[in-house]
Structure 1
Amino acid sequence: MLRWTGANSGAKKTPTLLADGRELIYYDATGDTDRSAADRRPLPETTSRSEVRYNALLGEHVGYAAHRQSRTYHPPADQCPLCPTTGDRLSEIPADSYQVAVFENRFPSFGGDQGRCEVVCFTSDHGASFADLSEEQAGLVLSAWTDRTDELSRHPGVRQVYVFENRGAEIGVTLAHPHGQIYGYPYVTPFTERMLTAVADHRERTGENLFDELVAAERADGSRVVLETEHWLAFVPRAARWPYEVHLYPARRVPDLRSLNEAERAEFPRVYLELLRRFDRLFGPGAGPTPYISGWHQAPFDAADRSEFALHLELFTIRRSADKLKFLAGSESGMGAFVSDVLPEAAADRLREVASE
C-alpha cells in the first residue's frame, strides 16, 4: 500500500493486480479503507495485440486493435464490469465499494511497448454521472488524473497522455457506468502536432505565446466567456467546431496537470462541476442528459519546449438541439472542413443562461 505525496497528498493510493496481471489502483480520500480484496476471476494472462502504423501522406499514426471487437458491449446494469464485486458477481473491481479506481484496459487500443490505455471509474454508483459528484469526489478524480499523468510520463512507450471522458450512447459509449479513460499514446497526436507547430510559428514571428494571446483575446472580448474565477477561465472559442464547445484554461500557463498549484486544484471541482451541470440543462428537462466528450490537452513529454504549451480542457457535445445531433458530413469527415450550425456567441449566451442560481 502506497500513499501518493504529490498534489492533494491526503489521497491514499493503493495499487494491486487483477487476475490476468493488469494493474488496478484505488484512490481514496481517507487512509483507513481496506483494499486487500483479490480478483477471483479465472482470467488468462493478457497479451497486447495492438499495432501502430504510420500514414506518410498525412503525416499521422493509425492504431489497429482487432481484439477490441470482442469487448463488452452495453451489458445490463447487473452485469456491469465497472461496478464493485458483490458476492459471486465478479467484476473488474474486486472491492465491494470504491471511491475512484483506475485499471489497465482489458481491451486496449495501445499496449506493451506501444503505449498504455487505462479506465478511470469516477464512483461505484452505477446510476450517477460526473456532474453528480461532490466537490470532494471531483477533487479525488483530479488527483487520480494527475497521478496517472505523472506515472505514465515514465513509461518508456508513452510520449503523450490524454485524459478524457465520453458520456452518452450518442457518443458511442458502450458502458453506462460513470467512467473515463486515459490514453498514453506512443506518438504525438495529430491535433497536438498542429498546435505545437502553430505555437512555434507564432513565437518565431511575433516573439509571443499563441495560447496566451488567444486566452487574453477571449477575456478582453468577453462575449464568449462562460464563466471566470480567480484561477480558471471557461469560454466558447471564436472558431468552435462543435455546436456547444467550451475550453477551460487555468489563469496561468502550465504544461500539464502535474503543474497545477494547490489553489488551482482546490477551485477546479467547483468550476468543472458547474460546466457539466450547465451542459445537462442546455436543451431543457425533457432532453435527458447531454452527451459529451471532455478531455485534457497536455504537453507531450518530449516536446522541444514544454513551457510553451498551455494545459486546457475541451468539453463539447454533438447535440445541436433537443432532438438533433451534429453528424459529420462528407466535407467534415472527408476533408476535415467543419461547418457548425450554432454561432459561438449564441452558444455562450445559452451556457450563461443555464448557470446555477
Structure 2
Amino acid sequence: MPANSADPLAPGRPGSDATEIPFSDFELAVFDNQFSSLQSNEVAAAPSRWATGPANGRCEVIVYTSESEGSLQTVGHARRVLFIEALIDRYKTLFDEGAAYVLPFENRGQEVGVTLPHPHGQIYAFPSVPEPQAAAARAFASGYDLIADHASWEGVFDVVSDDSFVAFSPPFARFPFETWIMPNRPCRGPWDLDAEGVEALARMLGDIPRRLDSLFDAPMPYMMSFQAAPRDSGDDFQFTVQFFPVMRDAGRLKYLASVEQFTGVFTVDVVPEQAAERLRSL
C-alpha cells in the first residue's frame, strides 16, 4: 500500500502522494489487493508441513466513490447501480477464470477491524466452495425453498419490500438487527437480474444501511456479503445480500464470545420480530 497518508483509496492527483488509484477522479474502481490472502495460480504456495493445499484465488478491492467518507447510502442510487453492474462483471470474469466461488463483501466500521473510512468493499475468488456456502448449495439442491419459507412467515419479519425484493430479519438471525435482502423470485445471483431488478437492489442497498444507521443515530458497523450461487451449483440456489450489524444497542457491541464460538449456538439480544418492527419504523 502506498506510504502516503491518510487515504490510499483516494484519487491520485498531481502534486499529491501516490495512491492505489492513478486517476484524478473516478466513479468506481476495482483492483487487486496488494496484501492478498489468496494468490493467483502462478504464485507458489509457501511450503508448510501442515498445509493442505495452496491458497490460490484472488482478492480484489472495489471502491465505491472518490469521496473519502460515506456509505452505500450516501454514494447515491446511480453509484449503487454501477456497483452492482461492476460486481456482475467480476462474477462472470472470475468464474470464467476458474473460480469456484466468489464473495463480494464489505466490512464497515472500526469495530470490525476497518482502518480506512473510504467507502469500499472487497471481492474474494475462491478455488473451492467454502463449507457454509457448500452446505447452503446442498440444502437448496435437496429441495429447501427460501422464498416459500419466507412466505410462511406472513410478513412478521419483513422490514421493507417492493415488487422485486424483500428485506427481512430472519427468524434464525445470529446478530441483533441482522437483515437479509432477497429477490421475490428464484435468482442464483445478481447476474440473473434484469435492469429493473438491478435498480430495485440498488434502492435496497441504500435503504438498509440508512435504517441501520438510524437505529442508534450513528453509523452502524456491520459485515455485508453477497451470497450468490457457486459456479457449478444448480438453479435452486437462492441469492441474498446479508447484513450482520455488530451493535446490540447504542454504544454496546455484540460480542461472539464463549458460547457462540465454542458451540455455534448464538444468543440473541433482540428477537428478530422486534428487530424487524424497529427497522420498519425508520
Same fold (TM over 0.5): yes
SS class of match (2:87): helix
* 1:120 aligned to which of 33, 40, 62: 62
Runs of 4 or more, structure 1, over 6 Å off, are: none
In 2, Cα distance between the equivalents of 1:88 and 1:134? Answer: 27
1:59-138 equivalences in 2 (<5 Å): 78-86=5-13, 87-113=15-41, 114-138=56-80
Structure 1: tracts of 5 or more residues without a match: 1-70, 204-208
Return the letter of the residue paired with 2:210: R
Greater Cα offset, 329-338 or 177-186: 329-338
Tell me the residue number matched to 2:152: 217
Tell me the residue number matched to 2:231: 301
Report Cα offsets for 1:200-253 as digits up to 9, x if no partner: 33x2xxxxx4223223223xx211100110100111101111001111111111
Return the letter of the residue paired with 2:176: P
Structure 1 residue 147 corresponds to structure 2 residue 80: no
Residue 289 of structure 1, CA deviation: 0.8
* 1:329 aligned to which of 240, 257, 261: 257
Q: Percent identity?
A: 35
Return the letter of the residue paired with 1:231: S
Tell me the residue number matched to 1:314: 242
Tell me the residue number matched to 2:205: 272
* 1:192 aligned to which of 130, 133, 157: 133
SS class of match (1:151): helix
* 1:168 aligned to which of 109, 112, 119: 109
Equivalent pairs, count: 267
SS class of match (1:79): coil
Tell me the residue number matched to 1:53: none
Tell me the residue number matched to 2:215: 282
SS class of match (2:188): coil
In 1, Cα distance between the equivalents of 2:204 and 2:134? Answer: 28
Report Cα offsets for 1:24-58 as digits up to 9, x if no partner: xxxxxxxxxxxxxxxxxxxxxxxxxxxxxxxxxxx
In 1, Cα distance between the equivalents of 2:147 and 2:272? Answer: 20
Return the letter of the residue paired with 1:213: A
Residue 276 of structure 1, CA deviation: 1.0
Residue 93 of structure 1, CA deviation: 0.2
Please tell me whether the aligned partners of residues 141 and 237 of structure 2 are also in contact (alpha carbons under 8 angstroms).
no
Return the letter of the residue paired with 2:10: C
Tell me the residue number matched to 1:291: 221
Residue 79 of structure 1, CA deviation: 3.0
Q: Please tell me whether Structure 1 or Structure 2 has the larger radius of gyration of its CA atoms.
A: 1
In 2, Cα distance between the equivalents of 1:266 and 1:130? Answer: 14
In 2, Cα distance between the equivalents of 1:315 and 1:328? Answer: 16
Return the letter of the residue paired with 1:185: F
Residue 102 of structure 1, CA deviation: 0.3
SS class of match (1:161): strand
In 1, Cα distance between the equivalents of 2:69 and 2:231? Answer: 36
Please tell me whether the aligned partners of residues 211 and 309 of structure 1 are also in contact (alpha carbons under 8 angstroms).
no
1:32-71 equivalences in 2 (<5 Å): none
Higher relative contact order (CA 8 A, sep 6+): 2
Provide TM-score, normalisation by structure 2: 0.90
Residue 178 of structure 1, CA deviation: 0.6
Residue 125 of structure 1, CA deviation: 0.2
Residue 271 of structure 1, CA deviation: 2.1
